[in-house]
């Protein structure tokens, strides 16, 4: 479990491609120890398992299912990745509960800069629009944000300068894709109603 408050990023150093999988090597300033191999780490909002640790280089194996549901299918060397280690029991929750289970990807339609705030509009598949709740929580590339506006299968978020500075959201451009995880509570409530 994570909380979507990102303080660190990593840079993709190497990608090994399988038939329907990837192994991704990421260089990061976050200290990892050998005994953390097998632990869960949120990378761009996807919960991945650490497979190797060599100094400041860590690797993850991505299955076909992960590639289908995330923007990792577009990953390239030198891409910046948001990284969050899993929460410890008793940790302060500053964002919202993030599982690292990306539901889909969202496409950026527009970025408007007002003062130093970015207002970003996204489009998702229509079947996911039921999870969009104005003023509700959403995780984009693993970052806990608040939905400011909803229209059909489009939504907007406001991203403040502090968040832009610490995450890879600053690198976003029109037509880019981000990993989207809807609020866990909205998913369970909608499932109960059906």
Fold classification of 104-193 is Elongation Factor Tu (Ef-tu); domain 3 (2.40.30)
Fold classification of 8-85 is Elongation Factor Tu (Ef-tu); domain 3 (2.40.30)
Domain spans in the chain, listed from the N-terminal domain onward: 8-85, 104-193
Please indicate whether the domains covering 8-85 and 104-193 agree at the CATH topology level: yes
| Predicted confidence pLDDT, tens digits, the chain (194 residues) | 798 899 999 999 999 999 999 999 999 999 999 999 999 999 999 999 999 999 899 999 999 999 999 999 999 999 999 999 987 776 777 778 888 999 999 999 999 999 999 999 999 999 999 999 999 999 999 999 999 999 999 999 999 999 999 999 999 999 999 999 999 887 777 776 66
Measured between alpha carbons, how far is 60 from 179 in angstroms, rounded to an integer?
17
Tokens 């995780």 correspond to 139
* Residue 8: CB atoms within 10 Å: 14
Say whether pTM exceeds 0.85: yes
* Residue 45: CB atoms within 10 Å: 30
């Amino acid at each position: 479990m994570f909380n979507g408050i990102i303080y660190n990023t990593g840079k993709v150093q190497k990608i090994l491609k399988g038939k329907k999988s990837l192994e991704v090597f990421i260089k990061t300033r976050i200290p990892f120890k050998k005994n953390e191999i097998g632990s869960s780490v949120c990378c761009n909002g996807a919960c991945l398992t650490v497979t190797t640790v060599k100094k400041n280089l860590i690797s993850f194996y991505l299955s076909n299912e992960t590639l289908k549901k995330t923007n990792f299918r577009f990953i390239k060397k030198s891409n910046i990745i948001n990284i969050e280690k899993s929460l410890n029991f008793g940790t302060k929750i500053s964002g919202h509960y993030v599982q690292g289970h990306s539901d889909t990807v969202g496409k950026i339609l527009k970025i408007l800069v007002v003062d130093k705030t970015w207002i970003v509009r996204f489009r998702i598949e229509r079947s996911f629009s039921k999870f969009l709740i104005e003023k509700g929580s959403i995780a984009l590339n693993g970052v806990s944000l608040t939905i400011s506006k909803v229209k059909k299968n489009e939504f907007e978020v406001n991203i403040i300068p502090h968040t832009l500075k610490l995450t890879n959201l600053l690198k976003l451009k029109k037509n880019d894709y981000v990993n989207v995880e809807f609020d866990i509570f909205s998913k369970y409530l909608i499932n109960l109603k059906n």
